[in-house]
Amino acid sequence: MRKSFSGVWATFEYLDDICAAIQELRNKGYAKLTTHTPCPRHEIDDALGNPQSSIPYFTLAGGIVGFGLAVLVIIKMTLNWILPVSGKPVVSIPIMGPIAFELSVLIAIFFTIGGLFYLILRDTWRHTRPGSKKYKSYNRFMRDRFGLVVPCDLDQIEEVESIFKKYLAEEVIVEN
């Protein structure tokens, strides 16, 4: 069963404040941070150490599957019902081009969407977040506020709280 959340979360009005708080927390060894931003910001990525997504592997796999599927479908169906056209080869490689391209794109897109959901769910599962009503109903993260969630033990709460206050967090909420 998933662990219940123990830690501190805070909201910030300014981007530079939250970035500074993230850097200090990472320097002190807090690795499993979750941030909230109204839009993607490279400053946050930099502060978090520029993590990379493995989505491209899903896309590549999808492209290969789509290409293979197209070639197989065309060969199977063409040989199943021989339809000679103007003396051209029954199984012709150039005519596979458009359909192989389209199916590669289509399946690559499906794999990308699947990968996107899988990776987001996996990371969300790995990084515990507060279960309180206050956190769940806080509705300014997608508007104009930045949020930072730090899971920690009881003896670390005071330290995290002091870092948040040092960087002028708007609200600091302790949950355990």
Cα separation values, 79 from 71, 84, 92, 117, Å: 12, 11, 11, 38
Nearer Cβ to other proteins (81/155): 81
- Minimum CB separation of residue 162 from other proteins in Å reads 19
- Minimum CB separation of residue 110 from other proteins in Å reads 8
Nearer Cβ to other proteins (39/155): 39
Q: Catalogue the long-range contacts made by 127-134 (C-beta closer than 8 Å, 24 or more residues apart).
A: 127/32, 127/33, 127/34, 127/151, 128/2, 128/3, 128/4, 128/5, 128/7, 128/32, 129/5, 129/34, 130/5, 130/7, 130/9, 130/173, 130/175, 131/4, 131/5, 131/175, 132/173, 132/175, 134/173
Nearer Cβ to other proteins (92/162): 92
Q: Which residues bind other proteins (CB under 8 A)?
A: 13-17, 33-41, 43-45, 48, 51-53, 55-56, 59, 73-74, 77-78, 80-81, 83, 85, 88, 92, 95-96, 98-99, 101-103, 105-106, 108-109, 112-113, 115-117, 119-120, 123-124, 127, 129, 139-144, 168
Nearer Cβ to other proteins (75/154): 75
